[in-house]
Amino acid sequence: MDADALSLYGVSFASRLIVGTAQYPSPAILSNAIAQAKTEIVTVSLRRESGSSRAGENFWALIRQLGVRVLPNTAGCRTVKEAVTTAEMAREVFNTPWIKLEVIGEEDTLQPDVFGLVEAAAILSRDGFQVFPYTTEDLVVAEKLLRAGCEVLMPWGAPIGTGRGLNNPYGLRALRAHFPQVPLIVDAGIGAPSHAAAAMELGYDAILLNTAIAKAGDPATIARAFALAVEAGRMAYRADPMQPRDMAAPSTPVIGRAFTDLARA
């Protein structure tokens, strides 16, 4: 087993890129993007479909064919009750205790309702779920989520679907420093491979994204670019890169350099 493998609730993964499955132009494009991303985990939002219509059955079949682990998502839930109910339905549909927990509290930014999030996380953890909470970079909220039973935290980089990258690098860096042993996954707001690499260079364990791949002109190619960026960022972090400084420092040593006296008598 790779010593640098990603471990989530006791399961190890070689890939540190998690990809969403919404908004793709076609099933074929989705399948190609997942293959190019080399991801081992995809998120899937549970849709409330009529049992008689069998709507979505082809989509679920495609997800199974991808051979990846499914992380169900309570996307769009606004209340604790709605999130818990959706999680319970997802466990039955996908036969997994994993759940990406979203409790949205603000419409314009889709910011998490952190109070409801902690409450829902505690309920689901007691019921045997392994919760992946979509949260902010707030240290107090992070501590409460861990006490509620979460073993993974998923802070946002920026609001969902904005592609703005890392709005608060200071806060993300502080979160990493305060919880060095907790798997941290940047979720939401990643728009370019450079954003993913920057998050990984901060020491984050993985990246979760959807819109930046699904809405790209060439989803398969950008998916591959994200995979390479995540790998590069992780390698850079482990290599202990130089820290920025305020003053210049010569890269060429002064000792041994030839000097020419141009002064004339």
Residue reference for tokens 């909470």: 133
Active site residue 100: yes
Residue 217, H or E segment? none
Catalytic option among 81, 100, 144, 215 = 100
Residues in the chain: 265
Of 89, 111, 90, the C-alpha closest to 102 is 111
Alpha-carbon separation of residue 160 from 34, 94, 163, 241 (angstroms): 20, 24, 8, 30
Binding residues for 1-deoxy-D-xylulose 5-phosphate, as ranges, are 161, 188-189, 210-211
Please state, as a whole number, how many other Cβ atoms lie within 10 Å of the Cβ of residue 164: 15
Asked if 79 and 103 count as a contact pair (C-beta separation under 8 A), the reply is: yes
Alpha-carbon separation of residue 169 from 131, 198, 238 (angstroms): 24, 9, 19
Catalytic residues: 100
